[in-house]
Amino acid sequence: LDNSSSCSSLMSTVRAINLVLPEIEVHLPGSNIDGQLVLNLRSTLMDPVVKVELVGRGFLSWLEEDNPELDYYKTTVCTNEAVYISKSKNFHIEDGWLDSGVHTFDFHFSFPPRLPSTFTSKIGCISYFIQGTCCSGQIVLAKEERCLLLQGKTGDHRRHVKDKAPVVVETRKDVVYFCCFSRGSVILQISLEKSIFCPGETIVFITDIANRTHKYVRKIIFAVHCIVLYRGFSNRGKQHSLEDRSEMTRLEFETNTAPFEDMRVTSALVLPKPMPVTSTVKENRIMAFRYELVGTSDLPCTTSTIVVRVPIIIAATN
């Protein structure tokens, strides 16, 4: 009872703890962050430990079936993690005590020059945060955590020099209409002036539609897909890989391209910011990123779909 009362008394000593950070929407590798930890005490606190930590880490986890074709099989949990940054600042407390009232502690951190971008999916995440803590002995009296958005940079700029030329990708889909015993085809072509883009940039592209059927081509869906390759380990230490695809942004366009007519469409998609740059597992340790601009259209009066995939590169060089 005495220990419980003592602990409760200590925890009630801290009225509030707050982190004051600069109003920066997205941080960059190699940049600095200056802030303050503000501690408001109700009464005198003896032998306090006050610190601020800057942490960046990645984590992934997924379930994998060993052999789903068998009646009996085991589910393997694949996990992995990485620490990208871990810095702390312990503040010196003169005379070993803090009086009641408001106390302000200034701190300064520098981000390393190479860090991956903030990222979250159903399988993994890369996150950054600053955490302020006030302790007494082994007891945490108060804590506040603030998440940070970070935009990673491209590691090797020379790798993408050859990718600055215009790019054109074309796909053709043949269809057969048994109801009228006729054949036809639809051709989709997407053209880009370049294949390298930065987070937050607008992708402008031209789509040519050649409708060689007796039906209307009604709609095309454009989207930027992020394809992530995850690398994890089972509890037995065996390495596993998983590739997952998700939409970053999309646009639906009503074309109404008439039978045996052609149409040209100019469209634009705005990339989010921050977003991971195109990278390898070696660069990010536990996951790799690549991107595609994808155009999809359901063919009229069929269950077929025509899909054109244009590889693009996301490279933050600023």
Cβ atoms 76, 66 nearer than 8 A = yes
3-state secondary structure of 25: coil
**How far is it, in rounded angstroms, from Cα 205 to Cα 100?**
62
Task: State the pLDDT at residue 268.
Answer: 96
Q: What pLDDT shows up at residue 179?
A: 59
Do strands 119-120 and 202-212 pair parallel, antiparallel, or not at all (unpaired)? Answer: unpaired
How many angstroms from the chain centroid is the CA of residue 6? 44
123 burial (CB, 10 Å; 0-12 / 13-18 / 19+) is middle
Q: What is the tens place of the pLDDT at every residue in 224-254?
A: 999 999 999 998 899 999 999 999 999 999 9
pLDDT of residue 71: 59
Peptide bond into 274 cis (omega under 30): yes
273: left (phi over 0), alpha (psi -120 to 50) or beta: beta
Task: Please compute the mean of the pLDDT values over residues 262-280 and round it to a whole number.
Answer: 94
Closest CA to 186 of 175, 201, 176: 175
Q: pLDDT-derived band of residue 21, with 50, 70 and 90 as boundaries?
A: very high
pLDDT digits (tens, 9 = 90+) for 145-182: 999 999 998 765 455 555 567 899 999 998 876 655 67
Determine the Cα–Cα distance for residues 253 and 221; give it in Å rounded to an integer: 6
Phi, psi of 151 (to 5 degrees): -100, 115
Q: Is 155 helix (H, G, I), strand (E, B) or coil?
A: coil
Q: Is the pLDDT of residue 184 over 90?
A: no
Q: Structural domains in the chain?
A: 14-148 (2.60.40.640), 156-314 (2.60.40.640)
Query: In the prediction, which pLDDT does 11 show?
Result: 63
Largest CA distance in the chain: 93
> For residue 188, what pLDDT band results from cuts at 50, 70 and 90?
very high
SS3 content of the chain, % helix, strand, coil (to 5): 10, 60, 30
Strand partners, 19: 37
Distance CA 238, CA 110 (A): 36
Q: What is the mean pLDDT of residues 26-36?
A: 95
**Three-class SS state of 282:** helix
pLDDT in tens, 130-145: 999 999 888 899 999 9
Q: What's the pLDDT tens digit per position in 273-317?
A: 999 999 999 888 999 999 999 999 988 777 789 999 999 999 986
